[in-house]
Chain A
Amino acid sequence: MSVDTDVMWLDEHRLVSLTELVEISGLTESELLELVHAGVIPARDPGPRFTFSARVVTIARTACRLRDDLELDARGLGVALRLLERVQDLEAEIARLRAQLPRS
């Protein structure tokens, strides 16, 4: 079994194109663009050739799952994704504060 060197870090350093994001996420281009215009998926370079930080791959894949599994339309997706992002931000903040508390 060989070691797979091709590991893509889904973080802010790595960029993906619109075409890549469509292929990876399972969303259509128009669905993605709707989420971009709604401000739910932030574009790094909002020119005619969109690029995104690879961090948004996770958001776009979540959007695709919610679309398929909960049969949500673009507006429903926008609201759900915004709320999920807020929950994640709050959870990260709690984790950050907890780390600073003494253990005992």
Chain B
Amino acid sequence: MKYTDYYAALGVERGASADEIRKAYRRLAQKHHPDVSKEPDAEAKFKDIAAAYQTLKDPEKRKAYDALGARPQGEEFRPPPDWAREHAGAGPESGSQFAFDDVDFADLFGRFGAGSRAGRGGGRSYAEMPLNGQDFEVPVSIDIEDAYRGTTLELNLQVTEIDAQGQPRRVPHNVKARIAPGAVDGQRLRLPGKGSKGVNGGRNGDLYLDITLKPHRLYRATDHDLYLDLPLTPSEAALGATVGVPTLAGMVNLKVPAGTSSGQKLRLGGRGLPRARGGAGDLFAVVQVAVPGSLSERVRELYRELGELAESPRRHFTEGA
């Protein structure tokens, strides 16, 4: 397993007092907490800080951690023989045979420190303690088409489980979840019991999915409504036209009224994302009058003629001044 320098994670000396450790944690936690911080790596940073604090704030866990010695961050190593029995509350039968390959420090101190206390205090060994499984929160990004049609997600996660010897171990955890049509950006789903398994009668953790919609080539989604840019030629905008518009259910004809300007929104009712309880949002086509960059001589001539007849759209600049 890889060594994690918990003192460095909190930015304190190895000899720091409990108070210094608590202050350092509070300062860093407020800055990096993923519910508060917008840093892209806040989740990972906070996890490191929290794991360090969980171990160093507890005198017994800190003692066990210190017994591993000071090493460079990330160094591959194995805890000394008998370390698990002396410090981590492992039963004598497991002794030094603990394999430390599939775990990290957070697993090690997070789970077996609790066991060592319970073992001494309650007379029950760690292996008998009911322990609830952990909840997991997983961000999931899906296509707008999948939100529209519904989709089945296959999640390949890793969870920490405690084996029969009371040893924590990372195991693959695969979950298949059917997402019915109607998810929107920011939708949250709960899959009860699909977190990590409870031990000795503890309840299983839950799995939470935080859904976001991937950016789309054509549509911009907000709640159940969709927005789509609709380029029109100046003559289509001026005279009106019937144009084909792509919706999630296929092409539909949209009647553009005469005298349509850029920025106007034309609503296609019920052509947005479906709502979970029936009905659907709308699709809005946002008009953009598109003028070609290069004009042929003939077209240029026609525009000149039009220009002579056109009224200024800027009369309000000077009216009433």
Listed in ascending order, the chain A residues whose CB lies under 8 Å from chain B are 1-11, 13, 24, 54, 57-58, 61-62, 65-66, 69-71, 80, 84, 92, 95-96, 98-100, 102-104
Contacts and interface: CB of A to CB of B under 8 A. Distances in A.
Given A24-B206, A102-B229, A6 B192 contact: yes
Contact of B221 (A4, A5, A11, A99): A99
Contact of B35 (A13, A54, A57, A65): A65
B152 interface: yes
Given A4-B191, A10-B189, A58-B188, A84 B229 contact: no
Contacts of B227: 99-100
A24 B190 contact: yes
A27 B102 CA distance: 32
Nearest to A13: B277
A69 B32 CA distance: 11
Given A10-B188, A96-B222, A100-B222, 7 more contacts: A6-B191, A7-B178, A8-B189, A8-B191, A11-B187, A84-B35, A95-B185
B33 A70 contact: yes
Interface stretch (B82-90, B169-177, B239-247): B169-177
A92 B225 CA distance: 13
A14 to B, nearest CB: 9
Among B152, B174, B220, B276, max chain A CB count under 10 A is at B220
Contacts, number: 90
Contact of B229 (A11, A70, A104): A104
Given A7-B189, A57-B190, A71-B26, A62 B286 contact: no
B35 A4 contact: no
Interface string B25-39: 010011001011000
A58 B220 CA distance: 25
B222 A66 contact: no
A68 to B, nearest CB: 9
A103 B277 CA distance: 31
B33 A4 contact: no
A70 B29 contact: yes
B26 A8 contact: no
A70 B229 CA distance: 45
Interface residues of B, number: 43
Could you say which of A9, A65, A69, A100 has the most chain B C-beta atoms within 10 Å of its C-beta? A69
Task: Name which of A3, A62, A66, A98 has the most chain B CB atoms within 10 A of its CB.
Answer: A3
B143 interface: no
Given A71-B26, A98-B220, A102-B229, A62 B35 contact: yes
Interface centre among A24, A62, A99 (most CB of B within 10 A): A99
B118 to A, nearest CB: 20
A63 to B, nearest CB: 9
A70 B176 contact: no
Nearest to A63: B35
Contacts of A61: 208
B50 interface: yes
Interface string B155-181: 000000000000000000011111110
Interface string B203-230: 0001010000000000011110101010
